[in-house]
């Protein structure tokens, strides 16, 4: 059985629950009161495996980091992995629609499937699913909640919301 470590960290968008195998990050979960994640039996609480992730998240929230360089262990279907790779190619501060993302992966008739894969992303923020919005520019579904999605896009200065709200600081 593979080792699994966990750690919780506070952030400007709430408490984050991190999991990893000691080499790579496997999950970043928004700890909302209605959907908290708990460690499974046998998981070990440890801060050390998450030092780089926590430092990079702090830099991101401070506005000094635009790209993450931590090792990720993404587990999903081939389609999900394709969508998650495409998410990582969306530049900081930019947004795309689900339909546009579907076109980018060569599946122009699959925006709903792209939306489902986006919603299954196990490592939000770092795999920036918050940068995908509705075709009409609306902020649609996000595991951390629409207010959190808005805060992340404001932090990044995304044109769809940057002129409407004060930055996260």
Task: Confirm whether pTM is higher than 0.85.
Answer: yes
**Percent share of the chain, pLDDT over 90:** 72
Which of 4, 54, 129, 160 is catalytic? The answer is 129
Give the pLDDT confidence score for residue 21 in this predicted structure: 93
**What is the architecture of the domain spanning 78-156?**
Orthogonal Bundle (1.10)
**Percent share of the chain, pLDDT over 70:** 93
Average pLDDT rounded to a whole number, residues 142-168: 76
Give the pLDDT confidence score for residue 160 in this predicted structure: 66
* CATH, range 5-61: 3.30.160
| Lowest mean per-residue pLDDT among 9-13, 35-39, 103-107, 110-114 | 35-39
Inform me whether the pLDDT recorded for 143 exceeds 90. Answer: no
Question: 139 falls in which pLDDT band (50, 70, 90)?
Answer: confident
Kindly report, residue by residue over 49-78, the tens digit of the pLDDT: 999 999 999 999 999 999 999 999 999 999
* Residue 129 bears catalytic tag: yes
Give the domain ranges of the chain.
5-61, 78-156
Kindly report, residue by residue over 70-102, the tens digit of the pLDDT: 999 999 999 999 999 999 999 999 999 999 999
Inform me whether the pLDDT recorded for 141 exceeds 90. Answer: no
Say whether 78-156 and 5-61 share the same fold.
Answer: no
User: What's the whole-number average pLDDT of the chain?
Assistant: 89
Higher pLDDT, 142 or 27: 27
Question: What token pair was written down for 24?
Answer: 């790579």
Listed in sequence order, the residues at least 6 apart from 110 whose beta carbon sits closer than 8 Å to its beta carbon are: 102
Inform me whether the pLDDT recorded for 165 exceeds 50. Answer: no
Give the pLDDT confidence score for residue 117 in this predicted structure: 95
């Amino acid at each position: 059985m593979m080792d699994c470590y966990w750690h919780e960290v506070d952030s400007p968008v709430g408490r984050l629950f991190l999991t990893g195998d000691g080499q790579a990050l496997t999950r970043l979960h928004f700890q909302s009161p209605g959907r908290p994640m708990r460690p499974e039996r046998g998981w070990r609480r440890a801060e050390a495996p998450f030092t780089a992730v926590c430092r990079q998240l702090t830099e991101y929230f401070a506005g000094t980091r635009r790209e993450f360089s931590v090792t990720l262990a993404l587990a999903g279907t081939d389609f999900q992995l394709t969508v998650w790779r495409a998410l990582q190619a969306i530049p900081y501060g930019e947004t795309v629609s689900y339909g546009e993302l579907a076109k980018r992966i060569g599946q122009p008739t699959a925006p709903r499937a792209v939306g489902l894969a986006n919603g299954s992303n196990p490592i939000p923020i770092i795999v920036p699913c918050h940068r995908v919005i509705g075709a009409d520019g609306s902020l649609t579904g996000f595991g951390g909640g629409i207010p959190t999605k808005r805060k992340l896009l404001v932090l990044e200065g995304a044109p769809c919301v940057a002129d409407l709200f004060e930055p996260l600081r």
